[in-house]
């Protein structure tokens, strides 16, 4: 949710008030909170997220003060939404992401959550997740989070293979991951692990080992992402200089298929192209809310928000972010009101990737005309398509971007 480059957009008002359309139909939409924690112990060479090490930050935005600053934005958000006529809604999902949220003391995360719950309340059965690096949790910190109302933790495992972790610059000891998963489960938390495939130098046997190792911890959920080589990262420079090999799309496809096979055999089902869950109750409802274009407020530097087709994003630097809130001003750097065409494009792009599928009735005529060709090419399931829902086949998932392009107008 907080990629490093921000869009341009229109200026955002300093009082944070939203245009009238944001309130339209809000009572019928879900509401969630994203909390960005922009700190990492070290920066991984492939990562382009808006995050800072202590050395990069310097003065003006210390980790110690961040919890208080985030709570200021929670209070600001509640005032701005009420002032804009958006009815109060309980939080259905809360997601702490990063960066490395668990670099902050668990007490700070609990206090930010507490401030949000005091403003909006939690809906019954709400999902409250934190991302975590396996080496930044202890049995005690996980218990404290569970006691504070967290229900789920998502560990960045990435790989079980030391030479792959080394190319990714990951500092954690892979032997720590099963301990962290067990501690989380003992604390009563639902557990997800993140994997990355296609790292330069990763063999098929390496990837099989990572997936099998992750499955042996019996997590409730696994995300597996193809490594993206982001411009401006150390990894991109290393590839350009020929120090590490290029990543290869065919290798990505083979690894995706292997992951899907192993996860299905272990009883996990895909519900979004890169995400598998043990039961439907284990699917990440916060991410589903993004993909279904619900409302959420994003707290933190660089965080994005979306309410009723109005989208905005905060200033990127933690010091600028803190300064805005201290002077009572909105931390937003810009915003845009999505027009019908943009909402349509985004809806098709995101919902086509979900196993629940995209209703053909939601498509414009040009998209509906593409459906027969997608069935003929084995990209969407024929029976579901005849019943009015576009649901990707395995081949369709491998070529999801191409499917989306065929559904959208030129």
Ligand X SMILES: C[S@@+](CC[C@H](N)C(=O)[O-])C[C@H]1O[C@@H](n2cnc3c(N)ncnc32)[C@H](O)[C@@H]1O
Determine if residue 293 is left, alpha or beta; phi over 0 gives left, psi from -120 to 50 gives alpha, anything else beta.
left
Q: Is 287 in the site for ligand X (CB under 6 A)?
A: no
Parallel, antiparallel or unpaired: strands 389-390 and 358-359: antiparallel
Q: CA 1 to CA 195: how far, in whole Å? A: 18
- Identify which range of 83-91, 227-235, 315-323, 394-402 contacts ligand X by CB under 6 A: 227-235
Q: Is 99 in the site for ligand SF4 (CB under 6 A)?
A: yes
Work out how close the CB of 158 gets to ligand X at its nearest, in angstroms, rounded to a whole number. Answer: 6
Contacts of 44 (CB under 8 A, 6+ apart): 168, 169, 170
Helix (H, G, I), strand (E, B) or coil at 270: strand
Q: Which residue's CB atom is positioned nearest to ligand X?
A: 156
Q: Hey, what are 373's tokens? A: 């060709």
Q: CA 248 to CA 240: how far, in whole Å? A: 14
Q: Hey, what are 233's tokens? A: 């990262």
- Identify which range of 14-22, 45-53, 70-78, 312-320 contacts ligand X by CB under 6 A: 45-53
Quick one: which of 73, 119, 127, 194 contacts ligand X (CB under 6 A)? 194
Q: Hey, what are 54's tokens? A: 């202590």
Q: Which residue's CB atom is positioned nearest to ligand SF4?
A: 47
Q: Is 40 in the site for ligand SF4 (CB under 6 A)?
A: yes
**Cα-based distances in Å from 345 to 287, 341, 390:** 18, 6, 15
Quick one: which of 6, 144, 148, 228 contacts ligand X (CB under 6 A)? 228
Q: How far is CA 52 from the centre of its chain?
A: 18
Query: What are the DSSP calls for 158-181, one per residue?
Result: E-S-HHHHHHTT--S-TTHHHHHH
Nearer to ligand SF4, 302 or 357 (CB): 302
What residues pair up with 155 in beta bridges, in sequence order?
A: 132, 193
Contact 378, 393 (CB under 8 A): yes
Quick one: which of 69, 100, 287, 330 contacts ligand X (CB under 6 A)? 100
Among 139, 154, 142, CA closest to 287: 154
Contact 63, 319 (CB under 8 A): no
Work out how close the CB of 388 gets to ligand X at its nearest, in angstroms, rounded to a whole number. Answer: 34
Nearer to ligand X, 55 or 124 (CB): 55
Nearer to ligand SF4, 298 or 367 (CB): 298
- Identify which range of 10-18, 63-71, 92-100, 183-191 contacts ligand X by CB under 6 A: 92-100
Q: Is 133 in the site for ligand X (CB under 6 A)?
A: yes
Binding to ligand X by CB under 6 A, coded x per residue (else -) over 147-176, reads ---------x-x------------------
Contact 408, 345 (CB under 8 A): yes
Q: H or E element: which one contains 94?
A: strand 91-98
Q: Is 358 in the site for ligand X (CB under 6 A)?
A: no
- Identify which range of 226-234, 337-345, 370-378, 392-400 contacts ligand X by CB under 6 A: 226-234
Contact 283, 293 (CB under 8 A): no
Cα angle: 335, vertex 31, 273; to 5 degrees: 85
Per partner kind, with CB cut-offs from 5 to 8 A, the member of ligand X, ligand SF4, none near residue 227 is: ligand X
Q: Is 202 in the site for ligand X (CB under 6 A)?
A: no
Nearer to ligand SF4, 119 or 131 (CB): 131
Residues that bind ligand X (rule: CB under 6 A) add up to a total of 16
- Identify which range of 36-44, 174-182, 280-288, 302-310 contacts ligand SF4 by CB under 6 A: 36-44
Q: Is 74 in the site for ligand SF4 (CB under 6 A)?
A: no
Work out how close the CB of 100 gets to ligand X at its nearest, in angstroms, rounded to a whole number. Answer: 4
Work out how close the CB of 43 gets to ligand SF4 at its nearest, in angstroms, rounded to a whole number. Answer: 5
Nearer to ligand X, 156 or 200 (CB): 156
Q: CA 104 to CA 299: how far, in whole Å? A: 15
Nearer to ligand SF4, 24 or 135 (CB): 135
Q: Is 156 in the site for ligand SF4 (CB under 6 A)?
A: yes
Q: Is 341 exposed, middle or buried (0-12, 13-18, 19+ CB in 10 A)?
A: exposed
Instruction: Please report, in angstroms and rounded to a whole number, the separation of the first and last CA atoms in the chain.
Output: 27
Work out how close the CB of 156 gets to ligand SF4 at its nearest, in angstroms, rounded to a whole number. Answer: 5
Site residues (CB under 6 A) for ligand X?
46-47, 49, 97-98, 100, 131, 133, 156, 158, 194, 196, 225, 227-228, 230
Site residues (CB under 6 A) for ligand SF4?
40, 43-44, 47, 49, 51, 98-100, 133, 156
């Amino acid at each position: 949710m907080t990629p490093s480059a921000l869009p341009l957009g229109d200026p955002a008002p300093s009082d944070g008030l939203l245009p009238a359309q944001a309130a339209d139909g809000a009572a019928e939409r879900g509401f969630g909170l994203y909390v960005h924690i922009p700190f990492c112990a070290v920066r991984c060479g492939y990562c382009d997220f808006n995050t800072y090490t202590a050395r990069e930050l310097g003065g003006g935005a210390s980790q110690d003060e961040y919890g208080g600053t985030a709570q200021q934005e929670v209070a600001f958000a509640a005032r701005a939404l009420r002032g804009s006529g958006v009815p109060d809604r309980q939080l259905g999902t809360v997601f702490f992401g990063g960066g490395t949220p668990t670099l902050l003391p668990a007490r700070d995360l609990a206090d930010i959550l507490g401030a949000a719950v005091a403003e909006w309340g939690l809906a019954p059965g709400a999902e409250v997740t934190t991302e975590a690096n396996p080496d930044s949790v202890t049995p005690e910190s996980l218990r404290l989070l569970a006691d504070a109302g967290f229900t789920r933790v998502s560990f960045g495992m990435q790989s079980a293979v030391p030479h792959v972790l080394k190319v990714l610059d990951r500092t954690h000891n892979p032997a720590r991951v099963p301990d962290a998963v067990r501690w989380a489960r003992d604390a009563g938390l639902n557990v997800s692990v993140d994997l990355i495939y296609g790292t330069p130098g990763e063999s098929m046997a390496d990837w099989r080992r990572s997936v099998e190792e992750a499955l042996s911890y019996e997590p409730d959920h696994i995300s597996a992402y193809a490594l993206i080589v982001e411009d401006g990262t150390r990894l991109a420079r290393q590839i350009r200089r020929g120090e590490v090999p290029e990543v290869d799309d065919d290798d990505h496809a083979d690894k995706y298929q292997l992951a899907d096979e192993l996860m299905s055999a272990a009883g996990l089902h895909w519900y979004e192209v890169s995400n598998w869950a043990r039961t439907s109750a284990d699917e990440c409802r916060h991410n589903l809310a993004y993909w279904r274009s619900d409302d959420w407020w994003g707290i933190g530097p660089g965080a994005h928000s979306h309410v009723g087709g109005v989208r905005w994003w905060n200033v990127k630097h933690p010091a600028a972010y803190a300064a805005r809130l201290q002077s009572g001003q909105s931390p937003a750097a810009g915003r845009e009101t999505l027009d019908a065409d943009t909402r349509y494009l985004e809806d098709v792009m995101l919902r086509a990737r979900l196993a629940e599928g995209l209703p053909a009735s939601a498509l414009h005529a040009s998209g509906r005309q593409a459906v027969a060709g997608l069935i003929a090419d084995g990209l969407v399931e024929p029976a579901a398509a005849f019943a009015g829902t576009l649901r990707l086949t395995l081949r369709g998932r491998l070529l999801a971007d191409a499917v989306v392009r065929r559904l959208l107008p030129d």
